[in-house]
Structure 1
Amino acid sequence: MTQFTHIIFDLDGTLTDNTQGIINSLKYSLQKMHIDDYPENLLDGFIGPPLQWGFSQLFGLNERDTKLAVEYFREFYGENGWHQNVPYDGVLEMIAELDRLGKKMYIATSKLEKYAVQIMEYFEMDKYIIQLKGADYGGEKATKTQIITDLMTMQQLSPSPQIVMIGDTVFDIEGGKANNLSTIAVSYGFGKPEELHAAAPDYFADDVEELYEILSA
């Protein structure tokens, strides 16, 4: 098993469960857009990829309406949604122990960066994280592949199997592979297990305890 020196975590669905905050923000946005005829489970597809992708691909909104829907989402999320959130069981203890072991830890998330920073500070996880890189406001550099690339460039990290990307969706695994990193898929988040297995991650963790065992080896 590879000994990892640098660990890049996704946020939603990997470290924290922000389901309620995201879903409530989406419902607010869609209501403001006068969109009310949709299956509830369609909203699950927003967790992982950039917001812009969700509104354009899942609801077929044009560029102008997508931008407006994102604004409405952020209006609710910035006030209420970001703290409707909870770390998965064992995550806080895992990060503290990995820090004790000398692991270098980072966050790469498609969430708007300022909200991701608020969440990390709220749960006091920021003291263990060297850098958090999130999506830019306009969504031009919001793909997970680009966010990881930008993080590595800013930290002057070269591709290595000792650097691992961890996430709960295919976007995380594809982003890690595109940057020539090791990858770990977690099944307790929002991704579909069959899609995660098809993405062929190097490792697969069914819970936080199993994830820690892989990372601390």
Structure 2
Amino acid sequence: MSQFSHILFDLDGTLTDNTQGIKNSLKYALNKMHVDGYSEAIMDQFIGPPLQWGFSNLFGLNERNTKLAVEYFREYYGENGWHQNEPYDGIFEMLAELDAQGKKMYIATSKLEKYALQIMKHFEMDKYIIRLKGADYGGKKATKSQIITDLLEMQQLTPSEQIVMIGDTVFDIRGGKENGLSTVAVNYGFGKEEELRNENPDYFADDVDELYEILSA
């Protein structure tokens, strides 16, 4: 098993469970856009991918309306949604142990960067994280692959198998692979197990304990 020196975490569905905050923000945005008749299953699929992708592909909004829906989503999320959130059991302990082992840890998230920073500070995870890179406000660099690329460049890290991307969706695994990194799929977040396994991640963790075992080896 590889020795990972640098660890990139996704945020939603990997470190924290923001289900309620995201769904409430989505409901607010869709109500503002007069979109109704959607199912709970569609809402579940919305969690994880970039906002622009979700409004466009899951709800069929055109470019203009997608941009407007994202604004409404962030309007609610900025006031209420970001703190309707909870770290998964064992995350604090895992981060502390990995930090003690000298692992260098980062966040690569499709969430708007300022909200991701708020969440990290709120839960006092920021003391373990060297750098956080999130989506820019305009959505120009919102793909997970581009966010990972930007983070690597900012930290002057050369892609290698000793750098690992961890996430709960196919976007995380694809983004890691496209940047030449090792990948770990976690099965306790928002992604579907079959879809994740189809991406052939290097490792698969069913819970936080398994994730820790992979990362601390």
Q: Fold-level match, TM-score > 0.5?
A: yes
Q: Supply the AA of the counterpart residue of 2:51.
A: L
Measured after TM superposition, the shift of residue 38 of structure 1 is: 1.0
Q: Supply the AA of the counterpart residue of 1:114.
A: K
Measured after TM superposition, the shift of residue 45 of structure 1 is: 1.5
Instruction: Give the distance between the partners of 1:50 and 1:190, measured in 2 at CA.
Output: 13
Instruction: Give the distance between the partners of 2:43 and 2:2, measured in 1 at CA.
Output: 36
Instruction: Give the distance between the partners of 2:62 and 2:126, measured in 1 at CA.
Output: 37
> Partner of 1:183 in structure 2?
183
> Partner of 1:145 in structure 2?
145
Instruction: Give the distance between the partners of 1:95 and 1:159, measured in 2 at CA.
Output: 22
Q: Supply the AA of the counterpart residue of 1:15.
A: L
Instruction: Give the distance between the partners of 2:40 and 2:200, measured in 1 at CA.
Output: 29
Q: Does 1:13 align with 2:13?
A: yes
Question: Per-residue displacement from partner, 1:51-93 (whole Å, max 9, x unpaired)?
Answer: 0111111111111111111111001000000000000000011
SS at match of 2:191: coil
> Partner of 2:79 in structure 1?
79
Question: Per-residue displacement from partner, 1:73-127 (whole Å, max 9, x unpaired)?
Answer: 0010000000000000000110011000000000000000000000000000001
Question: Per-residue displacement from partner, 1:15-71 (whole Å, max 9, x unpaired)?
Answer: 000000000000000011111111121011221211011111111111111111111
Instruction: Give the distance between the partners of 2:38 and 2:211, measured in 1 at CA.
Output: 35
Instruction: Give the distance between the partners of 1:161 and 1:21, measured in 2 at CA.
Output: 34
Greater shift, 42-51 or 201-210, is seen at 42-51
> Partner of 1:65 in structure 2?
65
Q: Does 1:211 align with 2:216?
A: no
Instruction: Give the distance between the partners of 2:183 and 2:117, measured in 1 at CA.
Output: 23
Instruction: Give the distance between the partners of 1:173 and 1:62, measured in 2 at CA.
Output: 27
What runs of 5+ residues in structure 1 fail to find an aligned partner?
A: none
> Partner of 1:99 in structure 2?
99
What runs of 5+ residues in structure 2 fail to find an aligned partner?
A: none
> Partner of 1:111 in structure 2?
111
Runs of 4+ with >2 A deviation:
none
> Partner of 1:172 in structure 2?
172
TM-score by length of 1: 0.99
SS at match of 1:201: coil
